[in-house]
Structure 1
Amino acid sequence: MNLHEYQAKELLKKYNVPVQEGIPVDTPELAAEAYKNLKVQYGNEFAVVKAQIHAGGRGKGKIIGKEQRGVAVGKNAEDIKTIAGNLLGGTLVTIQTGPAGKLVNKVLVAQDVYYPGPNPVKEYYLSILLDRAKGQNVIMYSTEGGMDIEEVAHNTPDKIFKEWVHPSGGLQPFQARKIAFNLGVTGNAFKNLVKFVTNLYNAYVGVDASMLEINPLFKTSDDKIVAVDCKMNIDDNAIMRHPDLEALRDITEEDPTEVEAGKYNLNFVKLDGNVGCMVNGAGLAMATMDMIKLSGGEPANFLDVGGTANAQTVEAGFRIILRDPKVKAILINIFGGIVRCDRVAQGVIDAYQSIGNITVPIIVRLQGTNAAEAKELIEKSGLKVQSAILLSEAAELVGKAVNA
């Protein structure tokens, strides 16, 4: 589950991680009020307005039809109001959103951290995620923080450092000091960075995050270490341990079909192909998708109906697949172990009769428990479907359908 920047920062504060303070708002008028409040509290003349969407690259992104960037600095309340007005309700296109962009429903008005002081300011990069190959969390960091970190990783990978953390021992003090040393900080900044890294790692583990990225990690002119931006993803499998975090989910940022599938406990992932898939079991689903590609088609989705599928969940999955205008054929591939094939067949029949006027070819392969009963149900229903016994036969029928 992805979080917005302002949500992630509130979580970090609970673990004593210093962040760039800000106020989330959803109208230009409230943005101007937020600026005034921040100015009274922190005394800074400038403030930053940041579009709140689940995507990176906001600083270089633009609102469609406008020259407005996703992150902009204002020097007075009127500036802030104008920037917020340009962002709110607009569609922001960044390198991570694709050309369709994302609708901006909320902005964060944040304090200016570039205030003058005795020392130079500096931007760093730091992230924590799971290295699945090693079975350990890894802290990735660099002296080259900011908007071009992807180019740094591509062009100068030697500037990206990594520190692995053993799960049984957790982050050790010497590791936090090593990170601060490699980033080249000294004096009070060194002490503050060690504390920052330690608390940040505790936050990562404490909320069951699967990814936590701070970019930029900022050293102020008076040697404070602050998280200016934060991207956080919570492990979906751990949400049950954090009922308070589930309330932070923003379904407007998610694919509507995936949200709908979740209501029926369907494992659904939207893809860009032309063949809709309905399968039971992740392994069989992956094999089915491979067969579709080998036959000349492209999977339009991953849909695992699971072992407890019934007619209602199958009908729901069927409807979700048909919402995709790119779908030229649907392949239903069910091996009846726990799930009964006749239940799946009944779901297909109910969906077909309920939706009506289905023009795409439907290929059905049902094997296993009650497969004979399922075949009889479909034959008596009068549905215009094509049956297959072998997966290779089903794939061949799919190939003919998409290449017709």
Structure 2
Amino acid sequence: MKLHEYQAKQVFAEAGIPTPGSTLATSVDEVVEAASDLGYPVAVKAQVHVGGRGKAGGIKLVENDDEAREAAEAILGMDLKGYTVDRVLVEEAVDFTNELYVGVTMDRGEGKPVVMVSEKGGVNIEEVAEEDPEAIAREHVDPAFGLHPFQARKVVYDAGIPREVAGDVASILTTLYDLFEDRDGSDVEINPLMVTADDEVIAADAVMNIDEDALFRQPELAEMEDEAAEDDLEAKANEYGFDYVRLDGNVGIIGNGAGLVMTTLDLVDYYGGKPANFLDIGGGAKAERVANALDMVFSDENVDSVVFNIFGGITRGDEVAKGINAALEQFDEIPKRVVVRLAGTNAEEGREILNDELVTVEETLEGAVQRAVEYADTEAEQ
């Protein structure tokens, strides 16, 4: 479960992490009133579960009532990467001299939590990891003993954090780890952690994702779930019983197995495309289930093409093909180009059954992915 920024900051503040003064607002008038009460300048920040809000116009710094009203009118109701903004956080602006990154996540390769610190805060940490991995200092933590004080100091030192704020950064990192552990977190981070001219450190952003399977141990956070609910597509996925994660690309991905979907997702990226989602429809591929999956993917305005990666195991390939045909025939018009790759039991028979007037059939996964990426690129250019 993802917490919104304002919810994560509430948890952080209660744990003793410094955060700017802020007010949640859902209307233009509330934004102006909150901004006036806080005192200018303030930031007006869209509360949606996407990254890159600033670049997409979802964060604006304002200096007076007129600017606050203009920002609120622009942000409230806007479509931000497929999410409709219905609330904003009005927050005191921080006069900073430096932006840092601190975070805690699970390193599944090592089987341990890892704490991370970087002087390159304020930008996408994944980009930093790819372009300049040495800019991120890391320290693995034995969950049996927790984060030792010397480990927190070491990773802060390894990141090159200035001595004047190193102690405070190490303290915040320790608190983050405690929250990660005590609140059953999967990811907890501050980006950026701003440093002021007076050498104060303030959490200007907050990310906190919780293991949904542990929510029964977190009644306080579970109460936030409705407010932090995912968008309509993710709610629909829960209704259909699909494993679904919305991404920010334009190639829709449907498969019957997590491994198949992950492989497809990786290949879309490898061939220059951007995945729009992770959608695992599970065992079987009857017409109704396929139709539900297509309805979801077709409903995503970001999707320009769809690739099916289906393996016929217990459910034979010819039955899968019949299900896909029946599902597509329910639509008066196919809104996106659909590419299908079938493998496994009776795959050849399935490929012959597929209606090639409705779908493009490819024998290999690589061919299917490349065709879907090509279709998406063509559609995006139009």
Asked if Structure 1 and Structure 2 have the same fold, meaning a TM-score greater than 0.5 normalized by the shorter chain, the answer is: yes
Per-residue deviation at 1:6?
1.1
Q: SS of the counterpart of 1:249?
A: coil
Per-residue deviation at 1:88?
2.7
Q: Give 1:213-228 correspondences, 5 Å limit.
A: 213-220=189-196, 224-228=200-204
Q: SS of the counterpart of 1:13?
A: helix
CA distance in 2, matches of 1:285, 1:149: 25
Q: Show structure 2 runs of 5+ residues with no match.
A: 376-382
- 1:246 corresponding residue in structure 2: 225
Residues 287 and 86 (structure 1), Cα distance of their counterparts in 2 relative to 1, 3 Å cut: closer
- 1:307 corresponding residue in structure 2: 283
Q: Give 1:165-176 correspondences, 5 Å limit.
A: 165-176=141-152
Deviations 1:273-303 (A, max 9, x none): 4xx7754333455677899999xx9998754
- 1:66 corresponding residue in structure 2: none
Letter in structure 2 aligned against 1:14: E
- 2:76 corresponding residue in structure 1: 88
- 2:310 corresponding residue in structure 1: 333
State TM-score, norm by structure 1: 0.66
Residues 352 and 36 (structure 1), Cα distance of their counterparts in 2 relative to 1, 3 Å cut: closer
- 2:292 corresponding residue in structure 1: 316
CA distance in 1, matches of 2:115, 2:366: 47
Letter in structure 1 aligned against 2:45: K
Letter in structure 2 aligned against 1:335: G
- Kept in 1, the 8 Å contact 2:44–2:91? The answer is yes
Q: 2:163 aligns with which of 172, 185, 192?
A: 185
Q: Does 1:53 align with 2:31?
A: no
Q: SS of the counterpart of 1:251?
A: coil
- 1:199 corresponding residue in structure 2: 175
Residues 311 and 199 (structure 1), Cα distance of their counterparts in 2 relative to 1, 3 Å cut: same
Residues 17 and 260 (structure 1), Cα distance of their counterparts in 2 relative to 1, 3 Å cut: same
Per-residue deviation at 1:23?
0.6
Q: SS of the counterpart of 2:175?
A: helix
CA distance in 2, matches of 1:221, 1:46: 17
Per-residue deviation at 1:30?
0.7
Deviations 1:251-273 (A, max 9, x none): 34xxx555433321123467644
- 1:10 corresponding residue in structure 2: 10
Q: Show structure 1 runs of 5+ residues with no match.
A: 40-44, 64-68, 115-119
Residues 341 and 153 (structure 1), Cα distance of their counterparts in 2 relative to 1, 3 Å cut: closer
Residues 208 and 79 (structure 1), Cα distance of their counterparts in 2 relative to 1, 3 Å cut: same
Deviations 1:359-399 (A, max 9, x none): 9788695866xx8xxx89x99xxx8647xxxx995779969
Per-residue deviation at 1:160?
3.2
Letter in structure 2 aligned against 1:81: R
- Kept in 1, the 8 Å contact 2:106–2:112? The answer is yes
- 2:90 corresponding residue in structure 1: 109
Q: SS of the counterpart of 2:163?
A: coil
Q: 1:72 aligns with which of 61, 83, 93?
A: 61
Letter in structure 2 aligned against 1:111: E
Q: Does 1:125 align with 2:130?
A: no
Residues 305 and 28 (structure 1), Cα distance of their counterparts in 2 relative to 1, 3 Å cut: closer
- Kept in 2, the 8 Å contact 1:291–1:392? The answer is no
Residues 155 and 245 (structure 1), Cα distance of their counterparts in 2 relative to 1, 3 Å cut: same
Residues 343 and 107 (structure 1), Cα distance of their counterparts in 2 relative to 1, 3 Å cut: same
Aligned residues: 358
State TM-score, norm by structure 2: 0.69
RMSD over aligned CA atoms reads 4.9
Q: SS of the counterpart of 1:246?
A: coil
Residues 239 and 221 (structure 1), Cα distance of their counterparts in 2 relative to 1, 3 Å cut: same
Q: Which has the larger radius of gyration?
A: 1
CA distance in 2, matches of 1:281, 1:125: 35
Per-residue deviation at 1:22?
0.7
Letter in structure 1 aligned against 2:42: A
Per-residue deviation at 1:171?
0.6
Residues 287 and 179 (structure 1), Cα distance of their counterparts in 2 relative to 1, 3 Å cut: closer
120-129 or 105-114, which moves further after superposition? 120-129
Deviations 1:214-235 (A, max 9, x none): 1222344555432121133334
Q: Does 1:266 align with 2:242?
A: yes
Residues 174 and 336 (structure 1), Cα distance of their counterparts in 2 relative to 1, 3 Å cut: same
Deviations 1:157-186 (A, max 9, x none): 554322222222211122223345552334
- Kept in 1, the 8 Å contact 2:284–2:320? The answer is no
